[in-house]
A and B are shown apart, each in its own frame.
Chain A
């Protein structure tokens, strides 16, 4: 039972991590990002071993990972061995969580009661391309930067242009062409 609790807590915390990571993208009060699906992580256990389907599902609050057992697993169908302990093994999928990068689903592999592997099953954007999770800025060569044909540019962004600086700016040239 202890291993089962640790397992669901781990899956749940992975889900919370993902949701938190998404919620963090909206600093404002919008951080209500589907708590439901967060806490539901850990359903549909594709586990193999064990017999007694111990549905220890309390529609868990979004607790932290140390509130073992009850956190997460909103009435899941996990198939952990009822005797718990070292017999817990198999692969378990989290529920699909929608992030701003598209759908994300995590699978963990458990052997001997320990997580041996965490795999991202679904990491695609709407166009079904695999995606880069990090939006961090990285060094770019000038030749790698999204370029613009000066002739096609409709407007120019620059550090605050004063009225005087405007006179000699590209924006002024573009405006003059359109006046």
Chain B
């Protein structure tokens, strides 16, 4: 860690955070990093821009293949029946295989197929893009960052360069979008680095509740070690209600905060202050 050797200042809130954003997958992706010069002495702004470009590349490439909003994507060809999974690209088949595995693990609460039978992997692809971006950032030597894609969060390290403190994440109040309902620390030395939130009200197109019952939860947040687990389980719990919530907390090392339609909260012990 040579970068701290010339800086005698204690690792407090010394380096300001800097953010870069871009649009992809129908949402906005934010990358936040502490503003410190790079290993080669590159200015902090260049470091951030370079890191954000890598993340954007990962997102764009996956979106080109998996977006159902792009006529020319492989996913659209599959949806139109012009292409069969047998002839699909290895990447498509891998993600489909992931999705089927998650469907098994969640007893069907998570499913990659829309009610009309169209394969829709978008629920998984955003998480996969976040995960792959994180892997790329780490491979490039970026250890302290926070990536937020449409409300799904993955962090690494600490907001203070070289520090051990966590990133403080807030959870949006579903009944008051301008307010934070709860907090949850991620990264640092803690075991959870990812936090994903699913709702039954917004973008309900990728959550299909079983049997048309009234939703047990209007919003479910799941913290986990990885973003795919957090994202899939949050989606599955919204779809599968209390039974899925209990299966998830019994079966995975996660923290969950779930909001009932009347605003009442259910939370695992980690969410108790």
Contacts and interface: CB of A to CB of B under 8 A. Distances in A.
A and B assemble together:
yes
A175 B181 CA distance: 19
Given A146-B272, A178-B32, A160 B258 contact: no
A106 B241 CA distance: 34
Given A137-B245, A140-B266, A162-B203, A155 B250 contact: no
Interface residues of B, number: 67
Given A137-B258, A140-B272, A145-B267, A158 B172 contact: yes
B168 A136 contact: no
Contacts, number: 196
Interface string B239-273: 00000011001111110111000001111111111
A152 B168 contact: yes
Nearest to B195: A157
Contacts of A134: 269
Nearest to A146: B273
Contact residues on A (Cβ < 8 Å of other chain), bracket? 35 or more
Interface stretch (B19-27, B59-67, B86-94, B113-121): B19-27
B151 A25 contact: no
A139 to B, nearest CB: 6
A174 B167 CA distance: 13
Given A146-B271, A160-B199, A155 B146 contact: yes
A154 B167 contact: yes
Contacts of B42: none
Interface stretch (A69-77, A79-87, A163-171): A163-171
Given A25-B251, A145-B182, A178-B18, A163 B265 contact: no
Nearest to B252: A25
Interface in B138-166: 146, 148, 150-153, 155, 159
Closest 6 CB pairs of A and B: A148-B183, A159-B199, A158-B172, A178-B19, A153-B170, A158-B151
